[in-house]
Structure 1
Amino acid sequence: MSTTLDSSLRHGAATDLDLGRMVEAERVHRRVFVDSDVFELEMDRIFGRSWIYVGHESQIPNPGDYFTTQVGRQPVVMTRHADGTIHVLENRCPHKGAIVCPERSGHTKRLVCMYHGWSFEADGSLAGVPVRSGYDNTCFDPTNRANGMKRLPRVENYRGFVFASLVADGPDLKTWAGEGMRGFDSVVDRAPEGQIEIVGDCFRTVQNSNWKIFIDNMSDGMHTSFVHYQTARAAKRTLEKFKIEHAGGLQVATLLAGEPDQMAKTDLVAHPNGHFDMAAFAPEPKGTDAEKYKAEMIARHGEAGAQAILGRNFHNAMLFPTALMQPSLQQLRVIRPLAVDKTLLEIWVFRLKGAPDSFTSRAITAANIGNSPSNLVAADDFEAYYRVHAGLKGPESDWVRLSREANRDIPVGSSLKGSSGNSEVCMRNMYQAWSQYMSVQ
C-alpha cells in the first residue's frame, strides 16, 4: 500500500471509495474501528439490513408477554399474541412516536401508549383510540386495525431463536446463516427434550470499545496465553493445592483457557457472510448426572444419533453481526452497538430441557465466573479491547495486521478452516464480509 493511499485514508469523511480500500487480504484500516462516519454507515448497511437477533421464544412464553430490545437503532418489542404467534413490532406509537413499552419485559392484555392512551393488540393491530369523533372527516381512520404499531418487514423463528430484519428484501434467514447456524443447532440438539429455555435475566456490560473488536477476539485463540495467563495459573494452582478432581468442568475451563498451546489444537472454521465457529475445549461433564444425561440422549436419538450430537460441540459460534452462541457453556452473547466506541454486551444462560439440574447450575456458575460484574475472565478481555481502541484512535496508527497463518487456510465446502487454532482466518473472513456488506448502498 502506497504512502499516498495511507495518507488519503487517514483523514476526512468516509466515502464509498474509502470503504472499498479499508479492508485488504491481510490487514484492516484503523478507521474501520474508530471512525464515527463508518459507524453510522454500519448501522445503516449492516444492522439496518441484515438479520439481527431479537430474543428467544422462552422469554415470552404466554400470550400477552413482551420483551423489548433494539434492531440496529430501532427500538422493538417482541410479543406473544393471543393465538400463540410471535411478532416483532416497532416500539413506537403511530400517533406521536412515543415508546409504547418502556420496560425490558412484562405482561399486558393490551399495549397502551401512556401519552394519549392509544392501545394495541399484541400483533400490533390498533385496538382503541380515545375520542374517535375527533377524527371524523380526516385522513385517519381510528377504526382501521391496520393503523397500529408497525411490524418489522421480516421476522423468522429458528428453533426458538427469533431474528428480524428492517428491510423486506434479501435472503431468508436459513440461506443467509448457512453453516453459521450449526452452533445454534448444537445447543438445541443437546437438550434431551429437543428444546431450551432462558434462565432468568442476563448480565449486561458496556465495553468502551468498538463492537467488532469484541467479535474479533472471539476467534482469537492466541490471546488467551497472555491476557488470561495469570487467571489461568491461579486456577490451576488452586486445583492442585486442594486436589479438586471434578471441579465442574465448564466453569473451570473458562479459567484454564490461558494454558499455553491449548488453543492451537482447537478447530476454527470461517463461513460465508462473516459467520464462524470455534470447537469446544471445555471438558464434558462427568459423574452420575452425566451418565443419566447420556442415557436420555441415547433413548431419544439412538446410540449413533446421540454420539453424533455429543461428538460435535462448540465454544464460540458467531452469527455475524449480533449473536454469539456458546453451546459448551449453554450461553448466548448478544452484541448491541451503542456508539463507535461503546458496545452493549448481553449474556444469557440456557437450560437444556430434560438435562439434569446440575447442568444448569454449571452453566450459571460459568456465567458468574466469566461474565458477571465481578468476573475473573472477561475483565481481562475488556481491558484489552479498551487498549486496542485507544491505540487505534491515533491517526498515525493506520493498519491492523491479520497475517497469522495466512495462505494456510483449508477449504471445507464454502467455508475455510484455519490450519490451527492460532489462525486469524475467521477475522480475515469476517472483515471481507464486512466490506461486502458495506459496499451495498
Structure 2
Amino acid sequence: MDTKVTSSEHYGSQFDLDIGELVEPNRIHRRVITDPDVFELEMDRIFGRSWIYVGHESQIPQRGDYFTTQVGRQPVVMTRHENGQIYVLENRCPHKGALVCPDRNGNAKRFMCMYHGWRFDGDGSLVSVPVHSGYDETGFDARDPKNGMRQLPRIHNHKGFIFASLTADGPDFDSWAGEGLRGLNNVIDRAPTGELEVVGDCYRTIQNNNWKIFVDNMSDGMHTSFVHHQMARAAQHTLEKFKGQARPGGLDVAAQLAGEPDQMAKVDLVAHPHGHFDMAAFAPDLQGADAELYRTSIVARHGEERANAVLERNFHNVLMFPTIIMQASLQQMRVIRPLSVDKTMLEIWVFRFKGVPESFSRRAVMAGNFANSPSNVVAADDFEAYFRVHAGLKGPQSEWISLHREANRDLPVGASLRGLTGNSEVCMRNMYKAWRDYMTAK
C-alpha cells in the first residue's frame, strides 16, 4: 500500500507526506495530530479496518430493540432480531442511501425507510418494496431478501460487549485484542453474576482537539498534579466531612490527584500489542458493610483463590485501541468518536454490575455526574489542556512531540511492555507504534 499522501497543510503548499516517517521510537511529528489529510487516512486505515466498539447487549435487551451509532464514518444500527440474535447493519437504505433508523434507539418489528417505503427485517433482509413490479426485467430482484440493509462483514460479542469491523479480512478479534482484554475481563469478572448492564443514556461532549490527544492523556499520570490540583484539593476537603460515612462516588479518586508530580510513579502501566494498554487503579477499593457483602458474592461465583485474584487486580484506565477506554474502578466507559482532525465526540457510559448492592450502582452514577456531567469539575480541566495542546501544535515551527519520558527503560512482560514507573510514556510510544503499523499496512 502506498504510504504517501498529498497534504496541503504546510504553508498552504502541496508536498508528499510519508506516514512512516511521522513516528519515531521516542517522538511523533505534529502532523500526526494536526494534518487533516492524515485524519482522513486514519478514518480509512484504522477506523475503517480495525475492530470498533459498537455497543453493549444490555442496550437492546428485548427482541426488536435497536441502537444506532457509528463505526468509523459508517452509520450503523445494532439490532436484536426476533430470533434473539444480535446484528450490526449499515444504517442506510440500499435504494437511495437514506438513514433507515434516525432515532438513537427504539423497538421495531420491521424497519421502514421513510423515503420510498422499503421495509426490512431485524437482520437487515429485504421484506418488501412498494410496486415491486417496476423492477421486473431490470436486473434487481425486489423479492430477494439479500437486497436489504447490509450486515457488517464481521461482528464479535465479547461477554456482552459488541465489536464490529467494516472489513472482512484482518486479524480475528482474539488476535487483535490479546492481552489488552485483561482489563475488560477484570471488569466483567467483578460482576457477581458475570453480567453488566448500561445505566441509562450517556454523557456526550465535544472536545476541540484531535482524538489522540485525549487517548495520550489516559495513561499520563503526571499531568494530574498540575491540571487537577485545585479540584483535587477541594475533593480532599470534602472527604473530611464524610469520615465514617458512605462517600460520594468519585471523591476517593479525585482526592488522590493533589500530590507531587511523582505521586503516580507506583502505578503500574502496561502497554500491549496493537496499541492497547492498562493502568492500575490508584484509589482504595470499596469499603464498608456493602463491600463485605459484595466480596462474599464474588467468592460465591469464583471461589476464594480466584476471587482474591480478581479483586486484587483493579484498573483505572483500560484502552482497547482505538475506540474505548474503560474506567474500571468507576464502572464507566468512554467511547471515542472522531469527528474531524480537531473535533472529537466522547461518549461516557456508566455500567451497573448485576447482583451488587444498590449502593454500588449509586456510587457509579454519582461518579459519572461528578466527572462527566455538564457541570463537572474534572473533565473541564482536561478539555482545556487538550485544547491548548492542539492549538500550540498548529504552528508549523512546533514540529516534534516528545515521548521520551523513561524511554529505553521499558520492561518486557511477554509480548507487552511495563513502564519502569507510572510516570513512563510507554503506553503513548506503544500506541503510536501501532498507529504507524495500521497506517502503513500493505
Q: Which amino acid aligns with 1:161?
A: F
Q: Partner of 1:33 in structure 2?
A: 33
Q: Partner of 1:439 in structure 2?
A: 440
The 5 A counterparts of 1:125-274 are: 125-240=125-240, 242=241, 244-248=243-247, 250-258=249-257, 259-260=259-260, 261-274=262-275
SS at match of 1:348: strand
4+ runs of 1 displaced by more than 3 Å? Answer: 8-15
Q: Partner of 2:299 in structure 1?
A: 298
1:243–1:68 Cα change, 3 Å: closer
Contact 2:239/2:247, CA 8 A, preserved across alignment: no
Identical amino acids, percent of aligned pairs: 67
SS at match of 2:23: coil
- 1:114-163 deviation digits (Å, cap 9, x = unpaired): 00000100100001111111112211111100000011111110010000
Further displaced range: 281-290 or 41-50: 281-290
Pairwise CA distance, 1:48:
0.5
The 5 A counterparts of 1:392-403 are: 392-403=393-404
Contact 2:249/2:365, CA 8 A, preserved across alignment: no
Question: What is the CA–CA distance in structure 2 between the aligned matches of 1:91 and 1:181, rounded to whole Å?
Answer: 29
For normalisation by structure 2, the TM-score amounts to 0.95
Matched, 1:47 2:86: no
Q: Partner of 1:418 in structure 2?
A: 419
Q: Partner of 1:336 in structure 2?
A: 337
Contact 2:316/2:327, CA 8 A, preserved across alignment: yes
Pairwise CA distance, 1:301:
1.3
Question: What is the CA–CA distance in structure 1 between the aligned matches of 2:15 and 2:125, rounded to whole Å?
Answer: 41
- 1:285-342 deviation digits (Å, cap 9, x = unpaired): 1111111111111112111111011111100000000011111111110000000000
1:51–1:188 Cα change, 3 Å: same
Q: Which amino acid aligns with 2:351?
A: F
Pairwise CA distance, 1:65:
0.5
Q: Which amino acid aligns with 2:358?
A: D
Contact 1:249/1:285, CA 8 A, preserved across alignment: no
Matched, 1:24 2:24: yes
Q: Partner of 1:4 in structure 2?
A: none
Pairwise CA distance, 1:248:
2.8
Matched, 1:118 2:118: yes
Pairwise CA distance, 1:257:
3.7
The 5 A counterparts of 1:73-88 are: 73-88=73-88
Q: Partner of 2:62 in structure 1?
A: 62
Pairwise CA distance, 1:256:
1.7
Q: Which amino acid aligns with 1:412?
A: V
Question: What is the CA–CA distance in structure 2 between the aligned matches of 1:312 and 1:56, rounded to whole Å?
Answer: 23
1:61–1:32 Cα change, 3 Å: same
Q: Which amino acid aligns with 1:20?
A: G
SS at match of 1:316: strand
- 1:247-303 deviation digits (Å, cap 9, x = unpaired): 537511332242223311110000001000000112111111111111111112111
Question: What is the CA–CA distance in structure 1 between the aligned matches of 2:286 and 2:253, rounded to whole Å?
Answer: 14
Question: What is the CA–CA distance in structure 1 between the aligned matches of 2:298 and 2:267, rounded to whole Å?
Answer: 25
- 1:24-45 deviation digits (Å, cap 9, x = unpaired): 1111100000100000000000
Contact 1:249/1:284, CA 8 A, preserved across alignment: no
Contact 1:32/1:38, CA 8 A, preserved across alignment: yes
Question: What is the CA–CA distance in structure 1 between the aligned matches of 2:15 and 2:66, rounded to whole Å?
Answer: 39
The 5 A counterparts of 1:303-322 are: 303-322=304-323
1:152–1:53 Cα change, 3 Å: same
Pairwise CA distance, 1:202:
0.3
Q: Partner of 1:99 in structure 2?
A: 99
Question: What is the CA–CA distance in structure 2 between the aligned matches of 1:317 and 1:300, rounded to whole Å?
Answer: 24
Q: Partner of 1:355 in structure 2?
A: 356
Question: What is the CA–CA distance in structure 2 between the aligned matches of 1:179 and 1:333, rounded to whole Å?
Answer: 20
Contact 1:14/1:37, CA 8 A, preserved across alignment: no
SS at match of 2:252: helix
Question: What is the CA–CA distance in structure 1 between the aligned matches of 2:49 and 2:141, rounded to whole Å?
Answer: 31
Q: Which amino acid aligns with 1:97?
A: G
SS at match of 2:176: helix
Question: What is the CA–CA distance in structure 1 between the aligned matches of 2:248 and 2:27, rounded to whole Å?
Answer: 37
The 5 A counterparts of 1:364-403 are: 364-403=365-404
Structure 1: state its 5+ residue gaps. Answer: 1-7
Question: What is the CA–CA distance in structure 1 between the aligned matches of 2:14 and 2:119, rounded to whole Å?
Answer: 43
Contact 2:248/2:366, CA 8 A, preserved across alignment: no
1:339–1:237 Cα change, 3 Å: same
Structure 2: state its 5+ residue gaps. Answer: 1-7
Q: Which amino acid aligns with 1:77?
A: V
SS at match of 2:167: coil
SS at match of 1:385: helix
SS at match of 1:292: helix
For normalisation by structure 1, the TM-score amounts to 0.96
Question: What is the CA–CA distance in structure 2 between the aligned matches of 1:164 and 1:238, rounded to whole Å?
Answer: 43
Q: Partner of 2:5 in structure 1?
A: none
Question: What is the CA–CA distance in structure 2 between the aligned matches of 1:239 and 1:79, rounded to whole Å?
Answer: 43
For the aligned residues, what is the CA RMSD? 1.5
Contact 1:246/1:286, CA 8 A, preserved across alignment: no
Pairwise CA distance, 1:238:
2.6
Q: Partner of 2:3 in structure 1?
A: none
SS at match of 1:146: helix
1:250–1:312 Cα change, 3 Å: farther
Contact 2:60/2:79, CA 8 A, preserved across alignment: yes
Contact 2:9/2:35, CA 8 A, preserved across alignment: no
SS at match of 1:263: coil
Pairwise CA distance, 1:182:
1.2
Aligned pairs, number = 432
